Amino acid sequence: MDPRALEHDIAALHPACYGWALACCHRDASEAEDVLQQAYFKVFSGRAVFDGRSALKTWLFGVIRLTAMEHRRWRFLRGREVPVAEPVEPPAPSSVKVDRETREALARALAKVSERQREVLHLVFYEGLTIAEAAVIMNVSLGTARLHYERGKASLFELLNKEGIRLS
């Protein structure tokens, strides 16, 4: 792929990439910025090469996810405790208007589901990807991604119902 075209395409994807980096870094903005910078370095230095077997966004999200995992591992190995930030209120999709109470309940519920469930839900609902694309990014089979997706949705509805929040 032409380096200028790649740079242009990645610039267009930057807001979504930053949102995904935040999700991968437990909503820690500083860590997400570091991870995103490292991921971009991998791409532009040629350490990560787009081969066209998937969409650019899918491939780039995979690079960001793996970079976040490496970042956490290195921090752990260096003896530093990895801070887990309090969950930040996730951005509500623009087409859905929900009240503050519902947004806060959703943020609390998302913090309680497993990391894999949270990842696939974020990719599908906030990034608009398919479950198949999420599976590629998460490096799991399609069946595994579907399982995490269904269990994550069920857990969210159950947790929200316990808080008295009813979604249609």
Q: Look at residue 89 in the predicted model and tell me its pLDDT.
A: 47
pLDDT tens, residue by residue, 32-49: 999 999 999 999 998 998
Compute how many other C-beta atoms are within 10 angstroms of the C-beta atom of residue 10: 18
Beta-strand runs (E) in the chain: none
CA distance 39 to 48: 8
Shared-domain flag, residues 45 and 116: no
Q: Say if residues 151 and 117 touch (Cβ distance below 8 Å).
A: yes
Residue-range definition of the domain harbouring residue 98? 88-168
CA–CA separation, 47 vs 76, rounded Å? 23
Q: Is 97 in the same domain as 117?
A: yes
Per the structure, the count of domains in the chain is 2
98 and 74 within one domain = no
Final residue of a structural domain among 85, 113, 134: 85
User: Is residue 72 domain-shared with residue 40, that is, in the same domain?
Assistant: yes
Q: pTM to 2 decimals?
A: 0.63
- CATH number reported for the structural domain that contains residue 1 in this entry: 1.10.1740
Angstrom distance (rounded) from CA 22 to CA 5: 25
CA 137, 138, 139, 143 torsion: positive or negative?
negative
Last residue of a domain, one of 85, 108, 138: 85
User: Could you tell me the CATH number of the domain that includes residue 165?
Assistant: 1.10.10.10
Q: 53 pLDDT band (50/70/90 cuts)?
A: confident
Element (H, E) at 12: helix 3-24
pLDDT, tens digit, 9 for 90 and up, residues 69-124: 898 887 766 664 444 444 444 444 444 455 778 878 888 888 899 989 999 998 89
Taking Cα atoms as reference points, which of 62, 50, 53 lies closest to residue 136? Answer: 62
| Pair (119, 48) in one structural domain | no
Could you tell me if 41 and 79 lie in one domain? yes
Q: Which of 77, 148, 156, 88 is nearest to 119 (CA)?
A: 148
